[in-house]
Amino acid sequence: MRVKVAVFWGCCILASQYAYEMSVREVLPKLGVELVDLREALCCGDPVRSVNDFAANYLSARVLALANLTGLPNLLVPCNRCHFTISEAKRAVERDEKVREKIVGMLKEEGLEYNPNIKVWHVIDLLHDCVGLKSVGKAVVKPLKGLKLASHVGCQIIRYSDLGRVDDAENPRKMDELIRATDAESVDYNEKLDCCGSHLMLSHPDTALSLAGGKVKAVQGLCVDGLVVSCPDCGLMFDSKQKEAGTTVGAKLNLPVLYLTQLLGLALNIEQEKLGLQLNQSPVDQLLSKVSA
Partner 1 sequence: MGLTDLMSMAKPNLESREKILRKLRGRELINCFQCIKCTSGCTALKLLELKPHEIEKLVNFGFVDELAASDIIWTCVTCLKCVQRCPQKASPYHVIVALRNLAVEREAKVPEAFMKAVSQILETGLAEAYQKVTTRKMEVCDRESLKLPKIPAPKEGFQAVFLKALEER
Binding region for partner 1 (CB under 8 A) = 9, 11-12, 14-16, 18, 21-22, 25, 37-43, 46-55, 58-59, 62, 84, 92, 95-96, 102, 106-107, 109-111, 155-156, 159-162, 169-170, 193-195, 197, 199-204, 207-208, 210-211, 276, 278-281, 285
d(CA 246, CA 174): 29
Cβ proximity to partner 1: between 197 and 224 the closer is 197
Shortest distance in whole angstroms from residue 142 CB to partner 1: 22
d(CA 219, CA 177): 19
Q: Which has the closest alpha carbon to 139: 26, 5, 4?
A: 26
Q: Which residues of 219-252 are buried (b: 16+ CB within 10 A; e: fewer)?
A: bbebebbbbbbbbbbbbbbbbbbbebbbebbeee
Shortest distance in whole angstroms from residue 44 CB to partner 1: 9
Tell the burial category of 256 from Cβ atoms under 10 Å away from its Cβ (0-12, 13-18, 19+): buried
Alpha helices in 110-171 (DSSP H): 123-125, 133-139
Shortest distance in whole angstroms from residue 287 CB to partner 1: 13
Shortest distance in whole angstroms from residue 136 CB to partner 1: 24
Shortest distance in whole angstroms from residue 271 CB to partner 1: 13
Q: Count of CB atoms within 10 A of residue 99's CB? A: 18
Shortest distance in whole angstroms from residue 22 CB to partner 1: 6
Shortest distance in whole angstroms from residue 53 CB to partner 1: 6
Cβ proximity to partner 1: between 207 and 269 the closer is 207
Cβ proximity to partner 1: between 103 and 136 the closer is 103
Shortest distance in whole angstroms from residue 202 CB to partner 1: 4
Cβ proximity to partner 1: between 3 and 169 the closer is 169
Cβ proximity to partner 1: between 37 and 129 the closer is 37
In a 13 Å sphere around the CA of 90, the CA atoms on its Cβ side amount to 18
Cα dihedral sign for 207, 208, 214, 217?
negative
Helix, strand, coil % in the chain, rounded to nearest 5 = 50, 10, 40
d(CA 96, CA 54): 11
Cβ proximity to partner 1: between 134 and 190 the closer is 190
Cβ proximity to partner 1: between 14 and 222 the closer is 14
Cβ proximity to partner 1: between 101 and 188 the closer is 101
Q: Which has the closest alpha carbon to 243: 277, 262, 217, 221?
A: 217
Q: Which has the closest alpha carbon to 50: 81, 77, 96?
A: 81
